[in-house]
Amino acid sequence: LLWIRQGRLPPPPDAVVWPGSEEEVQAVIRLCRARRIAVIPFGAGSGVCGGTVAVKGGIALDMKRLEAVGTVDPQRRCVDVQAGVLGEVLERSLNAQGWTLGHFPSSIYMSTLGGWLAARSAGQLSSRYGKIEDMVLSVRAVSGAGELLVTPERPFRGPDLAQLLVGSEGTLCAFTGARLRVHPAPEARALRGYRFNRVSEGVEAIRVLMRAGLRPAVVRLYDPFDTALVARSRPHPSPTPPSMRGTWKSDTVPFLLRQISRHALSRPILLNRAAGALRRCLLVTMFEGEGARTRKEDEQARILCTQRGAVDLGEEPGLHWLKERYSVSYKMSKLVDSGALADTMEVAATWDKVMDVYERVRAAAASIAFVLCHFSHAYPEGCSLYFSFALSDVSEQAQERRYDALWRTALSAARSAGATVSHHHGVGLLKSAALREELGEGVVLLDRLKRALDPDGIMNPSKLWAVP
């Protein structure tokens, strides 16, 4: 976005190719292999880590013509889908048949199945339905050697080849399709918001909830300032729900929000300090599925949360979240249009490290950018931390330098507190050096796999673990 504002372009591919069949994907890759041309598999380009930047030129293999969605097999509860279909088109097509994939990334209008598979995508309901890798029964892909790979379904025996390919971000193969697990449309849904007096109490509540064996579709905690933004986001002229108004009326949030000018963002330390004085934060939970169990799990979660000092805000904050769940990502470009910069950084950590990652990233980035965070995609072992940054500076050049410094500082702080570099945005170019560091000697094994599947090194060069 910064470059576009400056009229610059990331390195473009030499050509864009739209294959219409698996055979055409194979033909393109074989040709590229014979001529040593780089191949960059391309879905809808919503990635935020530079995973499809053509650093060595080559061919962008745009998969959008491979968009067939099969008929759901109701007995087996699965469906065959081609890799180029857009998420929202896929979900609507399944809904029309009475089913859901349960995968709702905020990019759903502009990301494809192939991209999800490449980057191990997580939807907003991942705590119940899993990440895309948990929804996959088998995958179809063309390797860098030009072979069609069809992994065995539910591999109870032998190496799990689907899980070897999923997450490879175009460096080993181009996905052409997958067999996906589907679910009947949920019978019931229970939404609820809670107010906690400290981030740490909210994080502890999520941990306890997951450890109790509950399976919320959504369990999402906003830190105090992110909470304020969420509560205020209302593109529709409906009034803020009364319960939320009640929550924040004594806070200084509206004042603070008015202060987020470009000028304020260039001196974020003050903003961060002010935000640090806020305490109250919002937890949103959603349970869905069979009616009776949904109500029971919601009730059990309510007991666990209120035992930990939470105030039950009823369903309105949940309904509000549900209504606005795709709109947040679109606001970032508005901020950029205004001349400032915004970005997000998601990492993941085990419960013993979550608060430390949160505090250290905030501290490290405090003088560079204004920092927000929410905690989501929870597991029995830990959760994802999703940081949002806003920054500004006197010139475009200074802003770019600040942006680069932010990434270096924030990611390094997260890593040194024990976080893994990415949970669901992928690694791409942006985090490849950090992943290489995190993997240590494991890089040797990846290099070997690369040579096994992409012997001439044509697939998406320089990505993921900075593939040589």
- Within positions 375 to 434, which residues make up the interface with its own copies, using CB under 8 A? 379-382, 384, 420-424, 426-427
Q: How many chain residues are in contact with its own copies, going by CB under 8 A? A: 75
Whichever of 75 and 395 has its CB closer to its own copies, that residue is 75
Residue with tokens 């200084």: 252
Strand 188-196, strand 281-289: pairing:
antiparallel
CB of 289 to its own copies, least distance (A): 6
Q: What tokens appear for 15 in the block?
A: 């050509």
Among 56, 64, 77, 189, binds its own copies (CB under 8 A): 77
Q: Is 218 left (phi over 0), alpha (psi -120 to 50) or beta?
A: beta
User: Of 103-132, which residues contact its own copies (CB under 8 A)?
Assistant: 119-120, 131
Determine if 164 is a binding residue for its own copies (CB under 8 A): yes
CB of 130 to its own copies, least distance (A): 12
CB of 354 to its own copies, least distance (A): 11
Among 27, 89, 110, 148, binds its own copies (CB under 8 A): 148
What is the distance in angstroms between the CA of the first residue and the CA of the last residue of the chain? 27
Determine if 453 is a binding residue for its own copies (CB under 8 A): yes
Among 28, 165, 301, 340, binds its own copies (CB under 8 A): 165
- Residue 141: DSSP 8-state: E
Whichever of 151 and 409 has its CB closer to its own copies, that residue is 151
Backbone angles phi, psi at 39, to 5 degrees: -120, 125
User: Of 203-242, which residues contact its own copies (CB under 8 A)?
Assistant: 211-213
Q: Alpha-carbon distance 73 to 137, whole Å? A: 13
Render the burial of 42-75: b for 16+ CB within 10 Å, e for the rest: bbbebbbbbbbbbebebbbbbbbebbebeebeee
CB of 424 to its own copies, least distance (A): 7
Name the amino acid, one letter, at 260.
I
Which residues are within 8 A (CB) of 327 and not within 5 positions of it... i.e. 6 or more apart? 233, 235
CB of 307 to its own copies, least distance (A): 15
Determine if 154 is a binding residue for its own copies (CB under 8 A): yes
Stretch in the footprint of its own copies (CB under 8 A) among 27-35, 80-88, 194-202, 437-445: 437-445
Q: Alpha-carbon distance 418 to 413, whole Å? A: 9
- Residue 128: DSSP 8-state: H
CA dihedral (441, 444, 445, 446) positive or negative? positive
User: Of 182-201, which residues contact its own copies (CB under 8 A)?
Assistant: none
Determine if 356 is a binding residue for its own copies (CB under 8 A): no
User: Of 244-303, which residues contact its own copies (CB under 8 A)?
Assistant: 289-290, 292-293, 296, 300
Among 7, 156, 239, 249, binds its own copies (CB under 8 A): 156
Determine if 344 is a binding residue for its own copies (CB under 8 A): no
Q: Alpha-carbon distance 199 to 206, whole Å? A: 11
CB of 176 to its own copies, least distance (A): 15
**Cα dihedral 243/246/248/254 (nearest 10):** 100
CB of 304 to its own copies, least distance (A): 11
CB of 363 to its own copies, least distance (A): 22
CB of 399 to its own copies, least distance (A): 28
Strand 281-289, strand 218-222: pairing:
antiparallel
Determine if 88 is a binding residue for its own copies (CB under 8 A): no
Stretch in the footprint of its own copies (CB under 8 A) among 53-61, 64-72, 76-84, 355-363: 76-84
Q: Alpha-carbon distance 264 to 393, whole Å? A: 10
